[in-house]
Amino acid sequence: MSNKTMQNSSSGAHGGMPKSSGGSGFFRWLAARWQENPVYSTGAVLIVMVIIQTFALGFDYPSFADWFSGWSRNWINILRNNASVGIVALGMAFVIISGGIDLAVGSTLVAVGAVMMVLINGNVNGPLTALGITGVPAFILGILAALLMGCLIGYLNGFLIARSKVPAFIATLGTMKICRSVTQQFMQTVGVKVPREFTAIANTKIGGEIILPVFYWLIIAAILVVVARKTPFGRHVYAIGSNERAARLSGINVERVKALVYVLSGLLVAVAAVINVARIGSMDYANAGSGYEMDAIAAVVVGGTSMSGGKGSIVGTVLGMLIIAVMNNLLNLIGVPPFLREAFKGLIVIVAVLLQKKDKLA
Amino acid sequence: MKVSMKGIVKSFGANNVLRQVDFSVEGGEICALLGENGAGKSTLMNILGGVLQPDEGTIELDGKKVSFHSPAQSLHAGIAFIHQELNLINDLRVYENMFIGREIRTPVGLINDQEERRQTEDLFRRLDIRIDPLSKVSLLDASYKQIVEIARALMMKASIIIMDEPTTSLTDPEIERVFDMLRTLKKQQVGVVFISHKLREVMEICDTYAVLRDGVLVSGGLVRDTSIPLISRDMVGHDVRTEPLEQNAGLGEEVLRLEDLTLEPYYRHISLQVRAGEVLGVTGLLGDGRSEVFRTVFGDMGKYQGQILIQGAPVRIRSTRQALKMGVAYMPRNRKENAIIKDMDILDNGTIVTLPRLTRMGLIRRRQQLKQFEAQRDHLQIKMGSPRDPIGSLSGGNQQKVVLAKWLMTHPRLLILDNPTQGVDVGAKEEIYDIILQLARSGVAVVVLSNEAQEIIRVCSRALVMYHGDVRAEIAGETMTEANIMRLATGG
């Protein structure tokens, strides 16, 4: 044990590279940085990708202003298209740092979205419309109900995992199946129409661009950075993910913190559901949100968070999401067929974890 | 077979862990490798076991120069390294474990269970091991697991076996069992390197010894030519005190009282009381239930029967959080598993308990956090770099002090210390004893759980000896002797 600590301290003191790692200089450097703080290397990778993407987009424009507007429109597109899954990924980061996993996010999104759409229904047969509540009050009630329901589904997961000790993978796999199937069954015969005014939540143009979802994403990310770093709850999540036993013996209410992590995840999924419904004005119960769990996990992992818990960051998760998004965009720009794009996503996740694995040796 | 290591040098970065160390052991010899934590014992043996490569120096087997680049190579040459964390697969049977990774196959390629069983039985008979090869490893107690692991090494034709602190988690009868095994090995001309902290065991079982201090071989020779005080002095570099420390007689009010506390199958009918300013010792062998009693008091064991009174008031303790609020602090045994949060830095590890009290509007007040921790750091004389360094960068003793610090910040009324000097070197041990007594003087009720009789005698004014979940006796003053404690702890 003694020599391990010595290796640690010496590599820290000299900012040195791990002796055991192979590969070429750049990758060694990257792996070493990754160990110190994954956010830096994730950021570096992102910058490299943005440069490549910029070149792929080309400079074939009559003027700089034209080029810039094309470039930034492309960027706004990227950010907007990834805002909801980016928000879901933030919750996933907390879950994974606590040592768990939440597979239910995608179908929670559908369930929550469906309930909200029923409440804000523009058709005359909606339950709130029948009570004479329409317009903004109905929207507020609908959104509150959605957020509450997100929390409830999250709490159900959390309860199963923290109190009943069902493995997180299994518990959320169960709720994942339940949520989507029940939603599909009930919504079969219910016709809903999202009122035009509701879509303003996401589609109001600012400076001529639809950019609100991106703001929501960034604001929530900023809040969660503070939660993760500066609140006892945040520190407790890390502590539990790193050593649950020690956390309990430090007087931390492990069950409560774990349950809260899933509640947070559910809440953020509900926010994503509101944004999705407002963006599109409808919802495809069979497909909406499907794959969100995997995309969110991918973003978290690419962002340098360890699947075994205890390590990771919110900033990293945002960067991880952006890396995957830019990659998608890049593949699109250079004309890689859509079916193949998923393969690249898979590749980047594996590479990220390979870089992380080194960490175990130190 | 004779192994000799000559002029071994090894450094990690700027840290010289081994400096020109010579070490040798031969068949039929049990050699103790001694030294404080960080003295370089593990590094030296990791080099012999092929885990690490030396920077300089040579290894010779029967006079022939060899070099090992992996544990497999070293094993192939006949050197087996049995680590502290045993390498057995609990869900498999004993004979299956004996052949794991080198299964005997039938011509079709399936595992030849019959042959594996037969060879295991043969070996066990030869070594006089009374374990059923068909039983599951998970059903064996710690000493038999140790023995299976030794037997496996022999099955692989090992002629030198390195054992890293093999007795740490064993009870006395279990230790005796392992020692019998070692004596058998010796007769079979197997050489053993016995890494240990327990000098009494060394005197009992070993033929030769070698002491490392700060990476230098400081002494060595025949065990019968030396004594425990001499060896301890070589290990620490100065004399070690063993006499009881001065106790303060002024006791305050009762802080903890247990009435007929029972939690089957761990312990039953435990009644005791601890007063402010007192250091109560509770000792016994592994499995005596003392940890479970006090984990119950700390709310970590769930439901119990009987009554717990804190400062005279009856309470029901259901969670660690609740115990914490009542002024109970518990420093667990097995620091690595129970107390250290390895992914967090020193500061967070040292303040994790009190974080909720260090907030303003829900946010942690960093400056306050740092200030309080630094106060403890100075008070406990924790040797460390930046508070933002990883907790793993500290030595065992300093890690233990960080754990202690996080509890002292809660200003506990009752402080329970479970094996407080486990994996802590001799110097830091003394410092921890001083801290314990100082806390008692300041009016804290302290309970020290320990399996080291000397530790109990040294710091406690009064002690309970437990045996299989029962309190055997209370000892104090005249009756507090090592012999007496041993007798009571073994059920005598």
Are B144 and B261 part of one and the same domain?
no
Please report, rounded to a whole number, the percentage of residues in chain B having pLDDT higher than 70.
Answer: 96
Non-local CB neighbours of B82 within 8 Å, separated by 6+ positions: B146, B149, B150, B153, B161, B162, B163, B164, B166
Q: Which range marks the domain in which residue A87 is found?
A: 79-360
C-alpha triplet B95, B99, B103: angle, nearest 5°: 120
Tokens representing B292 are 């479970």
* A72 located within any domain: no
The total number of structural domains that make up chain B: 2
The answer to whether residue B53 sits within a structural domain is: yes
Residues of chain B contacting residue A238, judged by C-beta atoms under 8 Å apart: 341, 343-344, 348
Determine, for residues B390 and A8 on separate chains, whether the beta-carbon distance falls below 8 Å: yes
CA-nearest of B445, B449, B442, B379 to B415 is B445
Structure tokens at A185: 């069954």
- DSSP tag of B40: S
Residue B249 lies inside a defined structural domain of this protein: no
Alpha helices in B240-338 (DSSP H): 290-297, 320-325, 335-338
Show which residues on chain A lie within 8 Å of chain B, measured between beta carbons.
1-14, 16, 226, 230-232, 235-236, 238-239, 241-243, 245-253, 310-311
Beta bridge partners of B65: B60
Query: Which residues form the domain of B187?
Result: 2-236
The model's confidence at residue B264, banded by pLDDT at 50, 70 and 90, is confident
Size of interface A-B (CB pairs under 8 A): 120
Identify the domain boundary among B236, B266, B299.
Answer: B236
**Which two structure tokens, joined as six digits, stand for B459?**
């710091």
Partner-chain residue, chosen from A12, A230, A241, that has the shortest CB–CB distance to B364: A230
Whether residue B345 contacts residue B390, with contact meaning beta carbons closer than 8 Å, is answered with yes
Measured distance between the N- and C-terminal CA atoms of chain B, rounded to whole angstroms? 43
Contact B377, B405 (CB under 8 A): yes
Determine how many CB atoms are found less than 10 A away from the CB of residue B240: 16
Any domain includes A210: yes
**Residue of chain B minimizing CA distance to A20:** B52
B351 in a structural domain: yes
Q: Let me know if residue B245 belongs to a domain.
A: no
Q: Is residue A351 part of a domain?
A: yes
CA B29 to chain CA centroid, Å, is: 25
Comparing CB atoms, the residue among A6, A231, A245 nearest residue B17 is: A6
Do the chains contact at A12 and B389, CB–CB below 8 Å? yes
Between CA B481 and CA A175 the distance in angstroms is: 61
What mean pLDDT do residues B226-231 have? 84
Sequence-ordered strand ranges (E) for B89-200: 160-164, 191-195
CA atoms within 13 A on the CB side of B426: 22
Regarding whether B201 and B263 lie in a shared domain, the answer is no
Per-residue pLDDT of chain A (362 residues; tens, 9 = 90+): 344 333 333 333 333 334 444 456 777 776 676 666 777 778 888 888 888 888 888 888 888 888 888 888 899 999 999 999 999 999 999 999 999 999 999 999 999 999 999 988 877 677 777 787 878 888 999 999 999 999 999 999 999 999 999 999 999 999 999 999 999 999 988 878 888 889 999 988 888 888 999 999 999 999 999 999 999 999 999 999 999 999 999 999 999 999 999 999 999 999 999 999 999 988 888 888 888 999 999 999 999 898 889 989 999 999 999 999 998 888 888 888 988 888 888 888 888 778 765 544 33
User: How many separate domains does chain A show?
Assistant: 1
If you measure CA to CA, which chain B residue comes closest to A3? B43
Q: Do B270 and B317 fall within a single domain?
A: yes
Candidates A231, A33, A12; CA nearest to B392 is A12
pLDDT in tens, B110-152: 999 999 999 999 999 888 888 999 999 988 887 888 889 889 9
Distance CA B407, CA B469 (A): 27
CATH classification of the domain holding B373:
3.40.50.300
* Same domain assignment for residues B77 and B47: yes
pLDDT higher for B87 or B61? Answer: B61
Do A232 and B353 make contact, defined as CB atoms within 8 angstroms? no
β-bridge mates for residue A206, sequence order = A209
Please report whether residue B174 resides in a domain.
yes
Nearest one of A105, A268, A269, A240 to A162, comparing CA atoms:
A240
Mark whether B263 and B151 lie in a shared domain.
no
pLDDT at A20: 42
Contacts with B324 from chain A: Cβ below 8 Å: 251
Under 8 Å between Cβ of A345 and A85: no
Same domain (yes/no): B127, B190: yes
In this structure, the answer to whether residues B161 and B37 fall within a common structural domain is yes
Q: Are B115 and B259 members of one domain?
A: no
A176: distance to nearest CA of chain B, Å?
31
The domain that contains A130 carries what CATH number?
1.10.3470
Token pair of B11 as six digits: 């450094």
The residues facing B475 across adjacent strands are B463
Binned at pLDDT 50, 70 and 90, residue B311 comes out as very high
Cβ contacts of A351 within 8 Å, gap of 6 or more: none
**B291 pLDDT tier (thresholds 50, 70, 90):** very high
In a domain, A20, yes or no: no
Mark yes or no for CB contact B338/A249 under 8 Å. yes
Determine the Cα–Cα distance for residues B266 and A352; give it in Å rounded to an integer.
Answer: 46
- B265 and B367 assigned to the same domain: yes
C-alpha span between A1 and B426 (Å, rounded) = 17
Q: Which two tokens stand for residue A39?
A: 């956010």
Radius of gyration of chain B (CA): 25
Q: Which pLDDT belongs to residue A18?
A: 40
Sort out which chain B residues have CB atoms less than 8 A from A8's CB and list them.
390, 392-393
Span B249-276, mean pLDDT? 91
Q: Are A2 and B17 a contacting pair at CB < 8 A?
A: yes
Q: Which two tokens stand for residue B323?
A: 């115990």
- Distance (Å, rounded) from C-alpha A199 to C-alpha A242? 42
C-alpha A40/C-alpha A35 separation (Å) is 10
Judging by DSSP bridges, how do beta strands B414-418 and B363-364 pair with one another? unpaired
Distance CA A94, CA A87 (A): 12
H/E stretch holding B308:
strand B305-310
Banded model confidence at residue B172, pLDDT cuts 50, 70, 90: confident
Grouping H, G, I as helix, E, B as strand and the rest as coil, residue A308 is coil
Q: Do B395 and A243 touch (CB under 8 A)?
A: no
* Cβ atoms of residues B45 and B164 within 8 Å: yes
Boundary of a domain, candidates B236, B263, B298: B236
The predicted pLDDT at position A108 comes to 96
- Contact indicator for A315, A39 with CB cutoff of 8 Å: yes
Whole-number Å distance between alpha carbons of A344 and A328: 8
Residues of B in contact with A13 (CB under 8 A): 13-14
The two tokens of residue A120 are 């804000």
In a domain, B247, yes or no: no
Higher pLDDT, B101 or A358: B101
* Domain termination residue (choose one: B236, B267, B283): B236
Please check whether residue B408 lies inside any domain of the structure: yes
A135 assigned to some structural domain: yes
pLDDT one-digit tens code per residue, B208-217: 999 998 889 9
Q: Which residues of A touch B344 (CB under 8 A)?
A: 235, 238-239, 242, 310
Residues B270 and B229 in one domain: no
pLDDT, mean of residues B348-377: 93
| Cross-chain CB nearest to B17 (options A3, A241, A249) | A3
In a domain, residue A322? The reply is yes
Domain membership flag for residue B241: no
Please check whether residue A43 lies inside any domain of the structure: no
Residue of A nearest to B320 (CA): A251
Residue of B nearest to A251 (CA): B321
From A9, A243, A249, residue closest to B330, measured CB to CB: A249
How far is the C-alpha of A196 from the C-alpha of A189, rounded, in Å? 22
Contact B61, B6 (CB under 8 A): no
Q: Which amino acid is at B198?
A: K
Same domain for B138 and B84?
yes
Q: Answer yes or no: is A28 within a domain.
A: no
Q: Nearest-CA distance from A307 to chain B in Å? A: 13
At A157, list the tokens: 């997961």
Q: Which residues pair with B2 in a beta bridge?
A: B26
B262 and B395 belong to one structural domain? yes
| Residue B81 predicted with pLDDT over 80 | yes
